[in-house]
Amino acid sequence: MKGANEMRMKTLKLIVRVSAIIVFLICLYTFLLGNKVFYGKFDNDGFAWYFLAKGIFCSLSLFLSVDILEGIRDLKGRNNPPA
């Protein structure tokens, strides 16, 4: 049973980290598009900065949530050794 749980956690970790990278890249693209970087100029737009900040926060929270869940799982495993 322990092997199945570890496999699920590794799969979850991979999916969440890939999702975090995708979220960050989408928000970074929106930031660059909103500031008209692709048109060869830089227009300082407030909404674009909002999407960049949101992308950084959301991707970081997704990335760290897996580590927190893994830490909680390890703590439970240490407190309840198999019989």
pTM: 0.77
| Residue 20: both structure tokens together | 């975090």
Residue 2 has a pLDDT of 66
Residue 15 has a pLDDT of 92
Pick from 15, 19, 9, 18: nearest CA to 73? 9
Asked if residue 59 lies in contact with residue 20, where contact means CB atoms within 8 angstroms, the answer is yes
Residue spans of the domains in the chain: they are: 2-79
Asked if residue 30 lies in contact with residue 45, where contact means CB atoms within 8 angstroms, the answer is no
From residue 33, how far is each of 20, 38, 51, 52, 59 by CA, in Å? 20, 6, 11, 11, 19
Residue 81 has a pLDDT of 63
Write out the chain's pLDDT in tens, 83 residues.
567 777 888 888 899 999 999 999 999 999 988 888 888 888 888 888 998 999 999 999 998 998 888 888 888 777 766 65
Pick from 3, 5, 49: nearest CA to 28? 49
